[in-house]
């Protein structure tokens, strides 16, 4: 598949818009899931910690690469976008503050590995209940900040990607992002991608992965499906 000239058959979007839209949908879905899962007493703390760490790493990396590498490309082609993109970068800094609070939640009550501590003890006022309450509050703040930010960003960014970023420039940027993505629960990215994209769109995104990663995708999908099932409180 030639990623430089691919457009989805459903909407005829440029690759840049398709990939960005899918990443944004993953951010919406993943932040909502963490806020919801933190309030489910039966969801293990280690599952919550994994999703939390995935979100902190990937959201931070996503907006850092936009600020440092994508915005300059757009401004170089369209200087009139500079003020709007700087406003988006300021929102990224606000998101950083909420991510710092989320990352600071200590995901242990001292009894996390004790099989004698069951769901009955996972309630408000217990050590684990306090952890879950703190995580829930921080996750809600991140979710709400992400939703507000994307509502501002997409009307600015999508037209800029269509009009001011060439396919070759996007390919270069996309490969830079892939090459520097933190290796934190990467299987969740594959799992969420399968949920938010069509098979055609998913194939487009995954085509950009390094070749050694492709044989690992079936196992990553199985791992993600199990972890997402646990987070959603769905019985096996």
Domain holding 127: CATH number?
Answer: 1.20.120.520
Q: If you average pLDDT over residues 123-136, what whole number do you get?
A: 77
Write down the H helix ranges in 165-216.
167-180, 186-196, 199-206
More confident residue, 13 or 87: 87
For residue 190, tell me if it sits in a domain.
Answer: no
Q: Model confidence at 121, in pLDDT bands (50, 70, 90)? A: very low
Residues 6+ apart with CB under 8 A from 128: 45, 109, 111, 112, 117, 121, 122
Nearest alpha carbon to residue 132 among 148, 116, 143, 121 = 121
Under 8 Å between Cβ of 174 and 62: no
Q: What is the pLDDT of residue 11?
A: 55
For residue 178, tell me if it sits in a domain.
Answer: yes
Question: Which tokens is 109 given?
Answer: 């009550």
For residue 230, tell me if it sits in a domain.
Answer: no
Q: Is 113 helix (H, G, I), strand (E, B) or coil?
A: coil
pTM of the predicted model, to two decimals? 0.87
Q: What is the pLDDT of residue 101?
A: 96
Residue 8 has pLDDT above 50, yes or no: no
Least confident stretch, 28-32, 40-44, 51-55, 153-157: 40-44
For residue 6, tell me if it sits in a domain.
Answer: no
Q: Model confidence at 45, in pLDDT bands (50, 70, 90)? A: very high
Helix (H) or strand (E) holding 104: none
For residue 236, tell me if it sits in a domain.
Answer: no
Under 8 Å between Cβ of 234 and 36: no
For residue 191, tell me if it sits in a domain.
Answer: no
What are the backbone dihedrals phi and psi of residue 14, each rounded to the nearest 5 degrees, phi first? -65, 155
Q: What is the tens place of the pLDDT at every residue in 175-231?
A: 999 999 998 999 999 999 999 999 999 999 999 889 999 999 999 999 999 999 999
- How many domains would you assign to the chain? 1
- Would you give the DSSP letter of residue 116? T
Nearest alpha carbon to residue 205 among 155, 170, 165 = 170
For residue 209, tell me if it sits in a domain.
Answer: no
Task: Provide the domain limits for residue 35.
Answer: 15-109+119-185
By CB neighbour count within 10 A (0-12 exposed, 13-18 middle, 19+ buried), where does 19 fall?
buried
């Amino acid at each position: 598949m030639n990623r430089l000239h691919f457009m989805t058959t459903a909407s005829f979007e440029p690759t840049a818009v398709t990939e960005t839209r899918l990443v944004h949908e993953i951010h919406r879905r993943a932040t909502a899931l963490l806020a919801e899962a933190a309030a489910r007493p039966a969801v293990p703390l280690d599952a919550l910690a994994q999703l939390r760490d995935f979100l902190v790493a990937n959201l931070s990396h996503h907006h850092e690469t936009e600020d440092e590498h994508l915005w300059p490309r757009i401004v170089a082609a369209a200087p009139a976008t500079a003020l709007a993109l700087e406003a988006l970068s300021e929102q990224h800094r606000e998101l950083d503050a909420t991510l710092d609070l989320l990352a600071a939640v200590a995901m242990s009550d001292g009894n996390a590995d004790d099989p004698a501590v069951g769901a009955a003890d996972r309630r408000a006022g217990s050590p684990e209940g306090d952890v879950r309450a703190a995580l829930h509050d921080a996750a809600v703040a991140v979710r709400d900040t992400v939703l507000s930010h994307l509502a501002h960003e997409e009307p600015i960014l999508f037209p800029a990607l269509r009009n001011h970023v060439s396919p070759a420039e996007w390919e270069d940027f996309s490969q830079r992002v892939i090459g520097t993505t933190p290796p934190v629960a990467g299987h969740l990215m594959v799992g969420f991608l399968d949920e938010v994209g069509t098979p055609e769109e998913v194939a487009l995104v995954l085509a950009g992965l390094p070749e050694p990663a492709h044989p690992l995708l079936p196992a990553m999908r199985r791992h993600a499906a199990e972890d997402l099932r646990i987070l959603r409180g769905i019985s096996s």
